[in-house]
């Protein structure tokens, strides 16, 4: 396949399927495909369709518009709204058969005021320490009874770990114990809970797991990205980022590079301009610190990353005796592999002190995605 774009992301669907198989082999009953934020930057509808073909029965989203897009794309699996819905979203939520998570009495009242006459399935969000939303543990049975009396079908409960990617597991253990206690209390009160979900990517590979959960919500792991401080099966990266070389030039020692002249060449150099920048979602924080791959070599970014370009030092691979110099039109790899060399999402996140999620979700949805099977 010939790529004509100046920059694009490559999405390896074979790797996605392999990661799903690995997660299922860990023994979990149900794997929810978390596809919020444009499927972590991989492409919402395309990823969901690939997973539905693999019999994934649940998808997790963050806004109703994502659920509408999935339904219009042909997704018939269950869709769970992982964030609280706003009142303006309830009508579409019901119309497109999206399951809400309800985390307090106000959310229950608002949803009941919009729901159809028939029982509508909902999940209750239990507050275990995240602090964003959720029913306080001591109120869980009361709110379940209230939701049921108002005509809602509570067929699931959930919560979310806040520190499962940390070495200290005490907080995670505490959250697990709170959640399991609430589950037992609800069961004793008569709740028929089909879906119990708490585990995320870090907890799946960590030292804490709950024996009562029957559905897991992997995000990073599904896309082949390892959470911090994790150990376990090796997953295959699904996401690669590529861009073409737009120019190759020889510049003298002392010449300045990019906005603010934050880099001054310390030698006569050959520099290449790569046609991608922060307007495409490539982090500006990689200015003067990041690298890209060209011709199986890792080369340094010089100066500031621009909106749609960045400059790299190719002096050492364009020496006079080189039989394969960098040329206009060559493909640079910003995330992924180039033969023996590799730049991972995890490496970039560590370099600029951020979460791996920010790297892939930050890549502009306008940048073309090329799906490889």
Which residues are designated catalytic?
A: 36, 259
- What's the token pair of residue 83? 């964030």
Phi, psi of 273 (to 5 degrees): -95, 120
Place of tokens 């206690």: 181
Alpha-carbon distance of 172 to 129, in angstroms, equals: 9
Place of tokens 């490889």: 372
User: Exposed (0-12), middle (13-18) or buried (19+): which is 21, by Cβ within 10 Å?
Assistant: exposed
Q: How many CB atoms lie within 10 A of CB 54?
A: 14
E strand segments, 67-159: 78-81, 101-102, 120-125, 152-158
E strand segments, 150-296: 152-158, 195-197, 239-251, 256-257, 263-264, 269-274, 291-294
Helix, strand, coil percentages (3-state) for the chain, rounded to 5, are: 35, 25, 40
Alpha-carbon distance of 351 to 283, in angstroms, equals: 11
E strand segments, the chain: 7-12, 32-34, 58-61, 78-81, 101-102, 120-125, 152-158, 195-197, 239-251, 256-257, 263-264, 269-274, 291-294, 297-302, 310-313, 331-338, 341-343, 369-372
């Amino acid at each position: 396949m010939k790529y004509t774009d100046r920059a694009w992301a490559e999405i390896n669907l074979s790797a996605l399927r392999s990661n799903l198989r690995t997660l299922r082999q860990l023994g979990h009953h149900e794997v929810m495909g978390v596809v919020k934020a444009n499927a972590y930057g991989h492409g919402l509808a395309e990823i969901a369709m690939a997973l539905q073909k693999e019999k994934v029965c649940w998808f997790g989203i963050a806004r109703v518009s994502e659920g509408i897009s999935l339904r219009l794309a042909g997704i018939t699996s269950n869709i769970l709204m992982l964030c609280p819905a706003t009142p303006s979203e309830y009508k579409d939520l019901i119309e497109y058969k999206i399951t809400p998570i309800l985390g307090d009495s106000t959310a229950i009242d608002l949803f009941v005021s919009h729901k159809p006459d028939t029982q509508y399935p909902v999940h209750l969000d239990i507050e275990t320490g995240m602090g964003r939303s959720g029913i306080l543990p001591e109120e869980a049975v009361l709110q379940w009874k209230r939701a049921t009396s108002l005509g809602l079908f509570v067929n699931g409960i959930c919560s979310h770990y806040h520190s499962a990617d940390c070495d200290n597991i005490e907080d995670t253990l505490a959250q697990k114990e709170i959640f399991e206690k609430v589950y037992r209390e609800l069961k004793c009160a008569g709740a028929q809970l089909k879906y119990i979900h708490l585990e995320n990517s870090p907890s799946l590979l960590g030292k804490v797991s709950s024996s009562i959960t029957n559905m897991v919500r992997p995000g990073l792991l599904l896309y082949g990205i390892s959470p911090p401080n994790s150990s376990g099966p090796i997953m295959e990266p699904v996401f690669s980022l590529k861009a073409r070389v737009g120019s190759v030039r020889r510049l003298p020692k002392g010449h300045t590079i990019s906005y603010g002249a934050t880099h001054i060449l310390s030698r006569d150099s050959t520099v290449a301009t790569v046609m991608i920048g922060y307007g495409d979602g490539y982090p500006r924080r990689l200015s003067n610190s990041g690298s890209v791959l060209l011709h199986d070599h890792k080369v340094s970014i010089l100066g500031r990353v621009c909106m749609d370009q960045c400059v790299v030092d190719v002096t050492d691979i364009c020496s006079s005796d080189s039989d394969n110099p960098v040329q206009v039109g060559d493909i640079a790899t910003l995330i992924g592999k180039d033969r023996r060399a590799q730049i991972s999402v995890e490496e970039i996140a560590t370099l600029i002190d951020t979460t791996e999620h920010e790297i892939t979700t930050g890549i502009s949805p306008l940048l073309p995605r090329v799906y490889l099977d």
